[in-house]
Amino acid sequence: MYSAVSGLRVHQTMLDVTGNNIANVNTFGFKAGRAVFEDNLSQIIRGSSAPVPAAGGGPGIGGVNPAQVGLGARLGAITNLFSQGGLQVTNQTTDVAIQGDGFFTVEKAGANFFTRNGAFNFDTDGNLVTSNGSYVLGYMYAPGGRVAATNSQADQAAAMAGNVMLDKNGVMVTATTTPGDLQAVPLKLPTALINGFRSGANQTFKIASTGVNANGEATAGTPGTLHWDQYMQGMDNAAGGTVQNKDLAMESFQINPDGKLVGSFSDGTKRVFGQIALTTFNNPPGLEKVGGSMYRQTNNSGVPDTGVPANGGRGTVESGTLEMSNVDLAQEFTNLIVAQRGFQANSKVVSTSDEVLSDLIQMKR
């Protein structure tokens, strides 16, 4: 009877897991769970013994196998299945799906979490956030991170953290810091960057140069600081123009497969102002679900390896799409039937045991 009760428990858990999968069939980025059963400790009725030869070499006694009675079933694990979900086109630029391995890294109340749900939007302060208000983390680019028509595949590390060096055409040519070496920060629209373009802005940033010459080339020297208007002066000279009012407006933006956020500005230029970060783990099923389509690192998930998409085993991102749940409804409905039959069969064992006990009591009467 107690073995049957344990069977009822685990099949009830299987029903719970299956029901949760079906409930989240339309949850973006959801990964289905699977209940794994294993047998419980068995009671040894008789131990095993090895063959014993007879004295003098005649026939002896053969070996005997152990006799054990199982004590039911138990839940071994509830495993999350991290297979790729299908992609649904939404045509919303801030909707981002991951194609391949990795998780978006988000920050909520000072703690980092991880998710595959890329239904993002911008809040009133220009921060890229999830539907529950968590900040989406990535890397913010300095103003020099402009996309040049002659070098759209420029080193992704260039212009990071203000460490910029440009040639006379404004193309990024060298960098000493890569995104993977930096701390991911909340991504936001480049309002501060736009303000920095205004003529006479008093802001400065560090650059591996002491200035920019008339051709827009970084002059050799020790690392120092450069004013925004000096920097933009060089940029304009390099483009063959003159210094104009730099009160620019970003008219639109796009997200590239490598996670770069590229803004189109009112002066006709395009500039990278940020890049979405992706995080991978040695053992993704070891992550802990915390609700809100988010996961938390555990001792068995491994340490997070955060960096840029399409690099280091991380997948690419697809703007204007969302990853659907990987729940297979046909499989889940089959699991419902299996779990129901298992629960029903174990309940029959309980009722049969009750009848046997009742018969035993009747014998006493």
pLDDT score for 165: 63
Same domain, 145 and 170: yes
Radius of gyration over alpha carbons of the chain, in Å?
32
- The count of C-alpha atoms lying within 13 angstroms of the C-alpha of 359, restricted to the half-sphere facing its C-beta, is 6
Lowest mean pLDDT across 183-197, 223-237, 302-316, 348-362: 223-237
Measured between alpha carbons, how far is 77 from 6 in angstroms, rounded to an integer? 15
Q: What is the pLDDT of residues 45-84, one digit of tens each?
A: 888 999 888 877 777 888 999 998 888 999 999 999 999 9
Report the pLDDT averaged over residues 105-120: 95
Measured CA to CA, the distance from residue 256 to residue 233 in angstroms comes to 28
For residues 126 and 149, what is the distance between their CA atoms, to the nearest angstrom? Answer: 27
> What was the pLDDT predicted at 191?
56
Element (H, E) at 207: strand 204-207
The confidence band for 359, taking pLDDT boundaries of 50, 70 and 90, is confident
Number of domains in the chain: 2
**SS3 for 242-294, per residue?**
CCCCCCCCEEEEEECCCCEEEEEECCCCEEEEEEECEEECCCHHHCEEEECCE
Q: Which residue has the higher pLDDT, 166 or 311?
A: 311
Give yes or no: residues 255 and 360 share one domain.
no
Whether residue 164 sits in one domain with residue 228: yes
Whether 229 and 353 map to the same domain: the answer is no
Same-domain status, 237 and 188: yes
Same domain, 76 and 117: no
Q: In the Cβ-directed half-sphere of 146, how many Cα atoms lie within 13 Å?
A: 27
CA dist 358 to 2, 4, 355, 363, Å? 17, 17, 5, 9
Which segments within 10-115 are labelled E, that is strand?
A: 33-39, 42-46, 67-70, 73-80, 87-89, 96-99, 103-108, 111-115
> Do both 150 and 242 map to the same domain?
yes
Is the same domain home to 334 and 247?
Answer: no
The proportion of the chain whose per-residue pLDDT surpasses 70, expressed as a percent, equals 72
pLDDT in tens, 181-236: 667 888 888 654 444 333 333 344 343 444 445 554 444 444 444 444 454 455 44
- Find the domain containing 36 and state its range: 2-53+62-82+326-364
Residues 144 and 278 both lie in one domain: yes
Overall size of the chain counted in residues: 365
Which whole number is the average pLDDT over 284-289?
A: 95
State the average pLDDT over residues 118-129: 91
Residues 157 and 67 in one domain: no
